[in-house]
């Protein structure tokens, strides 16, 4: 994102190994797959035991990656939405930031699910990014300003109270003295920030 080198934390709802292209059907959402195909795919889901327990910390605070289970293709990660009608434009920002390209939608009528569809979102990302350049540039500028504040004053907390109009961001010095990431990670991936 511009001049920023960011770590973006996000959670994903599902892994969906959907490899076949959906049939062309005007009654379904664009890019939607038949419910039976999706539910058949979901019957193949397996839950594995975690295997060995996580080793106790040696007190050094080092970050270790412990691999468990099979590796999954990033292209099969999916966001799940349930509603009467799918508003793809509302879901796009979340999907774009997480680079989650598959959107599963459970359409329901007062809690009774009528169909499950999937939408391949990657083709929409470029247009969304182009349409939202001004907002994205403002966001990057704001993150840069936050970074400058942290480098000058140390860890801080930013609060936006949606009940206060016009909206404003209030910045407070953190009382914990800790950052969001372990110092070891900051030193490894952002050495200039660690020196400050």
Contact yes or no for 41/16 (Cβ under 8 A): yes
Rounded alpha-carbon distances, angstroms, from residue 189 to 9, 77, 83, 151? 15, 26, 40, 15
Q: Over the stretch 131-145, which tens digit does the pLDDT of each residue have?
A: 999 999 999 999 899
Mean pLDDT of the chain: 76
- Residue-wise over 100-123: b if at least 16 C-beta within 10 A, else e? bbbbbbbbeeeeeeebbbbbbbee
**For the residues of 124-165, what is the DSSP string, one character each?**
HHHHHHHHTHHHHHHHHHHHHHHHHHHHHH-SEEEE--TTSS
- Render pLDDT for 155-191 as a digit per residue (tens, 0 to 9): 888 899 999 999 998 998 888 867 777 778 878 877 7
Which of 100-109, 148-157, 158-167 has the lowest average pLDDT? 148-157
- Report d(CA 113, CA 68) in Å as an integer: 34
- The per-residue b/e assignment along 128-154, b for 16 or more CB within 10 angstroms, e otherwise, is beeeeeeebeeeeeeeeeeeeebeeee
Q: How does pLDDT run across 34-88, given as a tens digit for each residue?
A: 444 444 444 444 434 444 444 444 445 566 777 777 777 778 889 999 999 999 9
Inter-CA distances, 18 with 101, 122, 171, 179, Å: 12, 15, 44, 39
- pLDDT, greater one: 34 or 90: 90
- The reported pLDDT for the residue numbered 108 is 93
Place of tokens 């206060």: 164
Widest CA span in the chain:
59
| Alpha carbons 79 and 116: distance in angstroms, whole number | 13
Query: Distance of CA 119 to CAs 37, 122, 189, Å?
Result: 14, 9, 35
Confidence at residue 62, expressed as pLDDT on a 0 to 100 scale = 63
* pLDDT at 10 (0 to 100): 75
Query: Minimum mean pLDDT among 27-31, 101-105, 110-114, 138-142: which range?
Result: 27-31
């Amino acid at each position: 994102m511009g001049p920023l080198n960011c770590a973006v934390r996000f959670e994903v709802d599902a892994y969906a190994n959907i490899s076949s292209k959906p049939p062309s059907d005007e009654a379904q959402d664009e890019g939607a797959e038949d419910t039976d195909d999706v539910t058949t795919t979901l019957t193949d889901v397996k839950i594995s035991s975690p295997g060995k327990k996580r080793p106790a910390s040696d007190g050094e605070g080092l970050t270790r990656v412990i691999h468990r289970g099979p590796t999954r293709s990033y292209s099969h990660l999916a966001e799940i939405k349930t509603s009467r009608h799918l508003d793809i434009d509302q879901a796009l920002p979340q999907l774009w930031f997480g680079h989650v390209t598959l959107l599963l939608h459970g359409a329901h009528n007062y809690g009774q699910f009528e169909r499950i569809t999937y939408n391949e979102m990657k083709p929409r990302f470029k247009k969304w990014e182009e349409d939202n350049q001004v907002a994205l540039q403002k966001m990057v500028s704001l993150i840069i300003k936050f970074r400058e504040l942290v480098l000058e004053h140390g860890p801080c907390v930013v609060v936006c109270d949606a009940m206060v109009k016009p909206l404003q961001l209030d910045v407070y010095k953190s009382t914990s003295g800790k950052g969001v990431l372990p110092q070891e990670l900051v030193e490894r991936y952002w050495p200039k920030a660690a020196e400050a």
